[in-house]
Structure 1
């Protein structure tokens, strides 16, 4: 399954490179996907430590 998936991704990348020869566009798209993923991960890590109002409480 992994082999099939990587081949599909390779083919898709080749088609994308063929369609838009500017590689920076693909890099930008990948960066956006990475950024979104990182936001989700950080959100999952950080949200449980925040109180419900969304602001960290200041030590009194």
Structure 2
């Protein structure tokens, strides 16, 4: 990893935007491959609990009839 800081931006009723180099691990400590990113170095973690691709956001929060 580099010295680039990692930041997490919480979007109201939406995902957590993770900026910077991180490794996401499953419950057994194995690395999880990050999904393709629209913006290099940024990925989204589910913040609403509705994603079919947890822990990553699949934009299911946008289809919800009300904010989570």
Higher relative contact order (CA 8 A, sep 6+): 2
When normalised by structure 1's length, the TM-score is 0.22
When normalised by structure 2's length, the TM-score is 0.21
Larger Rg over CA atoms: 1
User: Which is richer in helix?
Assistant: 1
User: Which is richer in strand?
Assistant: 2
